[in-house]
Amino acid sequence: MSKIQVSSQIELDIETVLDGIAQLDSQELEKFSYRVMALHARRRVPSASHEESQLLTQINHGVPAEVRNRYHFLNEKLHEDNITASEHQELLGLINQIEIADAERLRTLIELAKIRNTSVEELMQQLQIRQPAYG
C-alpha cells in the first residue's frame, strides 16, 4: 500500500489520509481538491513558470460542487416537466454562472496556449483536460 510522509517522524498510509479527507465538509473538500489538482498540474508540467502555474490553477478551479449538484437536480426536474417557475429562474441563473465559468476557463486556456505557442486543442491534450460535462 502506498504511503506518504507527513513529517520525518509520521507516516500515514493513503487509506488513512483518505479517511481523514472524508471528514472534511463539502467546502473544505472542494478547496482541498483544487489544491491537489493544482499540484498535479504542476507535476505534469514541472518547468512551468509562475504565470503558467497561476493559469493552470485557474483552469483547474471549475464550478463549485454545490452549483453543479443544484444544476443537475433542477435540470432533471426540467426534463421531467416538474419544475416551478422560481426553480426555472434559478436554473437559468445557474446556467449563466456555468457559462461564465466555462468562458473564463477558455480565456485562461487561450492565454496559456499563447504562452506555450500551441493551440488550445493541443494544450488540452497535453494537460489531459476534457470539457466539463454538465448536461
The full set of domain ranges for the chain reads 3-126
Nearest-angstrom CA–CA distance, 78 and 9 = 54
- Number of Cβ within a 10 Å radius of residue 41: 20
Question: Do 132 and 63 meet the contact criterion of CB atoms below 8 Å apart?
Answer: yes
- Number of Cβ within a 10 Å radius of residue 75: 16
pLDDT band at 112 (very low <50, low <70, confident <90, very high): very high
pTM of the model: 0.60
pLDDT in tens, 50-99: 888 889 888 888 788 899 999 999 999 999 999 999 999 999 999 999 99
Residues written for the chain:
135
pLDDT in tens, 19-54: 888 888 888 887 888 788 777 766 766 566 788 888
Radius of gyration of the chain (CA): 19
pLDDT band at 120 (very low <50, low <70, confident <90, very high): very high
> What is the average pLDDT value for the chain, to the nearest integer?
85
Angle subtended at Cα 66 by Cα 65 and Cα 67, rounded to the nearest 5 degrees: 90
